[in-house]
Amino acid sequence: MEENKEKLKVGLFIDTWFPMVDGVIMVVDNYARRLSKFCDVVVFAPEGRKKFDDSTLPYKVVRCKKKFKLGFLDYDLPLPNADRAFKKALEDAKLDIVHIHSPFSIGKMGVMYAKKHNIPAVATMHSQYKQDFKKAVKLKCLTNIMVATIINTLNKCTECFAVNEGVENLFVKEYKLKAKTSVLYNATDLVKIDFKEQDFKDFDNKYGITPEEKVFVFVGRIIELKNVFFIAKALKKLKEDGLSFKMFYVGSGPDLEKLKKKIAQYGLENNVVFAGKITNRDEMAMFYARSNLTLFPSIYDTDGLIKYEAACYSTPTASVKGFLCASNIKDGVNGYLSDYSVESFAKRIEDVFKDEKEYAKVCENAHKDLYNTWDKSIDELYAKYLAICKGFKTMGGKTKKAKKI
């Protein structure tokens, strides 16, 4: 029972925050919402470019107002060391454990606070940092220095959580992380709604979906790194091959207008719907419930909450072999994988619907294997917190070194 749980004081540290929305922000928000039911939770985050009312959240948020504007990106670099009010709020927090979700300025300050106050710090590894750095600086030597810097911060943590086995392997074997690691899967706040037949009819009428059309959905930021143009090319191939379908792009982002032009260029205006950003969770649930497949061949994402959200409604995900976002997808078992080519991806989608019995089994397994609730995930996280805090005290405030792999 929640009322019997030890009330830890937990600090969650992140270098981006609302009103921006991305996968990492949604993970931290879900962590904070559930942990705050039985812990004192404070989220340490940067001030956004646009205003956001933190009082609407069921937990405390401390904002770093000092920042350096990065004109070429849609977010800024927070400068917590230059913000006296932020530093004072952190000192006054009296935390029992620090949990960082990015190893940059605010996350690094969290680790420094933990060392100063002799408490454990843990980290969740959400991103492929080397890929980000390569794109930003274009120089291999500078990229390697930047990776070494963040790994140095992560190595000061008592334990690092990977969102799947692929990410754990990346950080340990390629990035040379030495800290103790374990896997803590992402999840979803979606709980299956018993939609009625009329609900589906209304949805089909709204978007002009015909009975013979297969329905596909992509959910996320409309940005090239998530392979939204790759999907568009595959859709073009599917149409040329005679497959009848309706595709939904749900989300917004910097490449939205460019994508719309491509869809028009490919002659897919009647096949593709740009649904925009959807914040109503019941409305979002209908897209998953009505879809036959989610398409998520992202080269950027380490995981992707879309898999877990879709699995709530037994909707499998199609992705690409070797991509981290496909780490827990087994081809033909709980989802679908192809080689990394437009032709291969399109053909794999076409083959899905050639055997309805096999498709039904994959749908069932998608729910069984991938659907995971945040409540379950947070219970696991909280148990880790308690064990780490206890072990940290036993070790006399020292971080236990990981065994070499």
In the 3-class helix/strand/coil scheme, how is the chain assigned residue by residue? CHHHCCCCEEEEECCCCCCCCCHHHHHHHHHHHHHCCCCEEEEEEECCCCCCCHHHCCCEEEEECCEECCCCCCCCEECHHHCHHHHHHHHHCCCCEEEECCCCHHHHHHHHHHHHHCCCEEEEECCCHHHHHHHHHCCHHHHHHHHHHHHHHHCCCCEEEECCHHHHHHHHHHCCCCCCEEECCCCECCCCCCCCHHHHHHHHHHHCCCCCCEEEEEECCCCHHHCHHHHHHHHHHHHHCCCCEEEEEECCCCCHHHHHHHHHHCCCCCCEEEEECCCCHHHHHHHHHHCCEEECCCCCCCCCCHHHHHHHCCCCEEEECCCHHHCCCCECCCEEEECCCHHHHHHHHHHHCCCHHHHHHHHHHHHHHHCCEHHHHHHHHHHHHHHHHHHHHHCCCCCCCCCCC
pLDDT tens for 170-207 read 999 999 999 999 999 999 999 999 999 999 999 999 99
pLDDT tens for 300-341 read 999 999 999 999 999 999 999 999 999 999 999 999 999 999
Per-residue model confidence (pLDDT) at position 72:
55
pLDDT tens for 72-114 read 566 789 999 999 999 999 999 999 999 999 999 999 999 999 9
Report d(CA 274, CA 261) in Å as an integer. 12
Residues of the chain with CATH 3.40.50.2000: 2-187+374-394, 197-370
Per-residue model confidence (pLDDT) at position 73:
61
Choice among 164-173, 218-227, 390-399 with the minimum mean pLDDT: 390-399
370 touches 311 (CB < 8 A): yes
Question: According to the CATH classification, is domain 2-187+374-394 in 3.40.50.2000?
Answer: yes
* CATH T-level assignment (fold) for domain 197-370: Rossmann fold (3.40.50)
Tokens at 10, concatenated: 């937990």
Residue 327: half-sphere exposure toward Cβ, Cα within 13 Å:
20
Report d(CA 275, CA 251) in Å as an integer. 7
Share of the chain above pLDDT 70, in %: 95
Kindly give, in sequence order, each residue whose CB lies less than 8 Å from that of residue 351, ignoring residues fewer than 6 positions away: none
Report d(CA 245, CA 237) in Å as an integer. 12
Per-residue model confidence (pLDDT) at position 400:
55
